[in-house]
């Protein structure tokens, strides 16, 4: 009898959770920086991406996307983002117009560029250089703007990395990761995303001389309070960062540090994995590790498509989840 009532309670709770997560409407929302979405909203976005990926070979249609269009604005060509945006548009059957304009960021009033683009599409995907210019463009656009990448934040890459981690392990909470390299937009974004997902991160950001330097978003991350202090730790050496880490994330330059190889990765978890940035050189990582099954970089790049498709649908149309919520807690830790 007790088992019967426990099952009833679980079913009620599951329906409640599905209803609660389905209430996370993102219609009309912009995503300019990592904290623009709550952790529940990011999880709901991942949920949609996961549903899309599950039907990747099927025929997806949403009538609310009819007559919608997307503009991808770049300051220079980008092979990863252009391929992902076109693939996401093809999956949703939404046209994607690509504009490469290196000049608009020199405008004194970038919001005017936003007004021009906002009249010609329903959502703008943006990869630029300067975050302040991107925000000004978004102010003028009057349609949702998703900043994929600029010198301050690497939003698409970070979300895709985290989504890939959950896909690889089946959970996120208490996974131990580390960052090694010069301070870049990627570590800036990681600091504002991973602690809210319950991921434990050690980070060693350093100059080309090897001197430690704190990322520019550290102050903003510290405003997350207990969530940040319990999950993120700044360390003073590469070996300290590697110690017992399950995931090693590297920038495209290690800031004068030694190459990541089989020898120093003995400090990491015996079953470690890596993410690496592109373009790469032989300096940062030995070819053996990069070419191995430990490398999740390619899986993350492939997931760009699904993260972008989720952004496009959720900001343009209603979406009701059709599957159970994704799991974020290791099974043997669940109560």
Tokens representing 315 are 């900001």
pLDDT of residue 309: 98
Helix/strand/coil for 92:
helix
pLDDT at 12 over 60: no
Checking DSSP bridges between strand 200-205 and strand 145-149, what pairing results, if any?
unpaired
**pLDDT 10s digits, 291-323:** 999 999 999 999 999 999 999 999 999 998 989
pLDDT of residue 284: 80
Predicted confidence band of residue 255 (pLDDT cuts 50, 70, 90): low
CATH match for 157-298 among 3.40.50.1370, 1.10.540.10, 3.30.1050.10, 3.40.50.1100: 3.40.50.1370
Average pLDDT over residues 187-199: 98
Residue with tokens 């993260």: 307
pLDDT of residue 46: 98
Nearest to 86 by CA among 97, 75, 73: 97
pLDDT of residue 11: 44
- Please list the residue range(s) of the chain that carry CATH number 3.40.50.1370: 2-154+302-316, 157-298
Please enumerate in sequence order all residues whose Cβ is within 8 A of that of 23, keeping only pairs 6 or more positions apart, or say none.
none
Q: Cβ atoms within 10 A of the Cβ of 131, count?
A: 17
Predicted confidence band of residue 254 (pLDDT cuts 50, 70, 90): low
Which CATH architecture group holds 2-154+302-316? 3-Layer(aba) Sandwich (3.40)
Report d(CA 189, CA 282) in Å as an integer.
Answer: 25
């Amino acid at each position: 009898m007790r088992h019967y009532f426990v099952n009833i309670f679980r079913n009620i709770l599951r329906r409640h959770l599905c209803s609660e997560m389905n209430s996370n409407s993102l219609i009309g929302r912009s995503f300019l920086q990592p904290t623009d979405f709550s952790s529940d909203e990011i999880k709901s976005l991942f949920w949609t991406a996961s549903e899309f990926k599950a039907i990747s070979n099927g025929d997806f249609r949403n009538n609310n996307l009819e007559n919608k269009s997307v503009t991808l604005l770049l300051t220079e060509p980008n092979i990863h983002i252009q391929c992902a945006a076109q693939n996401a548009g093809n999956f949703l059957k939404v046209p994607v117009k690509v504009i490469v304009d290196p000049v608009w960021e020199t405008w004194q009033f970038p919001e005017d560029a936003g007004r021009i683009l906002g009249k010609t599409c329903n959502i703008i995907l943006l990869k630029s250089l300067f975050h302040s210019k991107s925000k000004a463009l978004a102010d003028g656009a009057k349609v949702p703007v998703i900043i994929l990448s600029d010198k301050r934040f690497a939003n698409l890459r970070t979300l895709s990395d985290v989504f890939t981690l959950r896909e690889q392990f089946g959970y996120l909470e208490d996974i131990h990761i580390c960052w090694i390299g010069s301070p870049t937009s990627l570590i800036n974004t990681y600091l504002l995303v991973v602690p809210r997902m319950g991921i434990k991160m050690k980070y060693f950001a350093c100059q080309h001389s090897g001197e430690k330097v704190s990322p520019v978003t550290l102050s903003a991350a510290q405003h997350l309070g207990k969530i940040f202090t319990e999950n993120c730790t700044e360390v003073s050496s590469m070996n300290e960062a590697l110690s017992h880490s399950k995931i090693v994330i590297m920038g495209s330059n290690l800031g004068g540090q030694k190459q990541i190889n089989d020898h120093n990765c003995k400090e990491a978890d015996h079953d470690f994995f890596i993410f690496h940035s592109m373009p790469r050189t032989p300096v940062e990582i030995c070819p053996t590790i990069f070419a191995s099954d430990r490398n999740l970089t390619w899986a993350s790049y492939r997931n760009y498509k699904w993260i972008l498709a989720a952004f496009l649908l959720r900001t343009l149309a209603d979406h009701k989840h059709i599957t159970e919520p994704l799991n974020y807690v290791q099974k043997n830790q669940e109560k």
